[in-house]
Amino acid sequence: MRWLIIFLALFLLIILQAAFNSLLVTFGSVNLLLIFATLTAIFGGEKELGVTLIISALMLDFASGLPDGLLAISLILSIVMVRLSVAWFFSTENDFKIMLGSVGAATIVFVVLTWLVNQIFQIFHLAYEFQLGFLLGKKVWADMLLNLLFTYPIMYYYFFLQKVIKEKHGSV
């Protein structure tokens, strides 16, 4: 039941992400699943993080229209990097500055890894044409700003889901 709740929560986020991105098409794009996965990397357990990453990666890949695996590999690697850096350098207390820094760093790393994985995909003629100047210039900052603006509501959504799961199962 816990995994079904997480799946439905992530499914709702991908729908909201598509709706927001269709409205913000000229400015940038928000990645709600990246924010949720970052919060899970900071506050969740390893099993919860693994399930969240797999479901989020598959949903991003299916919804993106890009070559399969491009966003999944980028998401998984960027969240693993966030998890390791938070575990090594920071405490996992509910510190809003650590959450914002982690979401900002995850956004930058995700965009850079998307470009790098795309370069690897070019070897197999599966690549998508990214304009490097736009991707690493205006886009990364616009995406980071949007992700930072949506961090607070997604944080409340994350803690609400933890409360619901705890009520249903007794532990998170």
* Structural domains in the chain (count): 1
Task: Output the pTM of the full model.
Answer: 0.89
Which of 111, 108, 146 lies closest to 130 in space, CA to CA?
Answer: 111
The CB density around residue 102, as the number of other CB atoms within 10 Å, is 23
64 inside domain: yes
Q: Answer yes or no: are the C-beta atoms of 8 and 59 closer than 8 Å.
A: no
pLDDT tens digit sequence for 61-101: 888 877 788 889 999 999 999 999 888 887 666 677 888 88
Identify the three-state secondary structure at position 116: helix
Measured torsion, CA atoms of residues 55, 50, 4, 31, in degrees rounded to the nearest 10:
-40
Range of the domain at 78: 2-19+30-169
Q: Please, how many CA atoms are within 13 Å of residue 78, restricted to the half-sphere of its CB?
A: 32
User: Is 50 part of a structural domain of the chain?
Assistant: yes
Q: Is residue 60 part of a domain?
A: yes
Low-confidence residues of the chain, pLDDT below 70?
Answer: 25-26, 91-94, 127, 130-137, 170-172
